[in-house]
Amino acid sequence: MDVYVSATDETVRLRAVLESAQCNIYSSRQLFKLAQDAYKRAVPPLNSGAARCRPLLDAALELGLQVI
């Protein structure tokens, strides 16, 4: 998960990490957990006032869809 967080500011790097995870992780349980972790990192707590990280949300969506 730390790889996703470190790549959030660089869209190209995040895309490479996402593609690597999709190609190399075969367990749907692990992909789902990774999608959940990415979502939790992308969406800040309600009272923090911080902005959402759109590229990380997109990565979480793609990983979640791959599980389905």
Average pLDDT taken over every residue of the chain: 84
What's the predicted TM-score (pTM) here? 0.77
Confidence of residue 6 (pLDDT cuts 50, 70, 90): low
Would you state the pLDDT for residue 50?
Answer: 80
pLDDT of residue 29: 94
Determine the pLDDT at residue 37. 92
Query: Taking the domains of the chain in order of start, what are their residue ranges?
Result: 2-67
46 Cβ partners below 8 Å, 6+ apart?
A: none
Do 64 and 32 touch, CB atoms closer than 8 A? Answer: yes
* Residues in Cβ contact with 42 at an 8 Å cutoff, skipping those fewer than 6 apart: 8, 52, 53, 54, 56, 57, 59, 60
